[in-house]
Homo-oligomer: A and B are copies of this chain.
């Protein structure tokens, strides 16, 4: 059972490998899925709230965000899309997008043909399982944001945000040590965390003064991750970014074998 282990160059593979053990074949399929990259400038709207999105995509390089804009000019960033993250992977033809997506730096995408993912999942149950876990983790992150916005002050929100970013970047092999690329303005951070740019500025200065972070030239370094985690009141393992628990792996193997023995059975995943 030849499973892929180390971190791939391909961020999608790296991310999904964290959720389920992928075979060499699985990896090939995912790499093929990302092969036709498209380059997009910074500030390009990929999905426009209120219109029907054309098709899904995977971010392979760069950075984008989902956001909502309001009449009064306020903005709320919902999630960042870093390499390996995707939008409407299943091509579910939303009639109307309830939020927009925009690139924040020059970015590369692989657009996904409608229906393609269903096909893949059918023949690659491990990919299906990984996508399921990925969706569950995404939901867990949304819930965590609700907690953060509902019950944490600015300092804790920012500490949380930085810790989350570090972990996500590590999961796709984009952060050796405690440093990562962060091409966000303070206004972007504010819009992510429900704060104002002015206040973000002041809190960042505090964190810098205490030697907890360095943030300059679009690079963020967390000097004391453990202290930041405690400021964020962060529950170490909420993120499901850890290796898939052994029980689940056994479960998956069971289903894979079942499928082999009984070809009609659906892959129990999408």
A142, A146, A149 — most chain B CB neighbours (10 Å): A146
Given contacts A251-B93, A268-B118, A269-B270, is CB(A150)–CB(B98) below 8 Å? Answer: no
Q: Who on chain B is nearest to A242 by CB?
A: B95
B interface footprint on A37-75 (CB within 8 Å = 1, 0 otherwise)? 000000000000000000000000000001010110011
Q: Give Cα distance in the complex from A14 to B147, angstroms.
A: 30
- Partner among B71, B76, B146 whose Cβ is within 8 Å of the Cβ of A78: B146
Q: Which residue of B66, B93, B237 is within 8 Å of A96 (Cβ)?
A: B237
How many copies of the polypeptide does the oligomer hold?
2
Q: Is the CB of B270 within 8 A of A93?
A: no
Binding stretch for chain B, among A21-29, A103-111, A133-141, A200-208 = A133-141
User: Which residues from chain B contact A138 at a C-beta distance below 8 Å?
Assistant: 139
Contact between chains at B118 and A151 (CB < 8 Å):
no
Q: Interface residues of A, CB < 8 Å — how many? A: 53
Query: Chain B contacts of A135 at CB under 8 A?
Result: 135
CB distance from A236 to the nearest CB of B (A): 11
Verify A122–B265 contact, CB threshold 8 A.
yes
A109 to chain B, nearest CB (A): 21
Q: A147 contacts B266, CB within 8 Å?
A: no
The residue that A145 contacts in the complex, of B68, B75, B146, with Cβ under 8 A, is B146
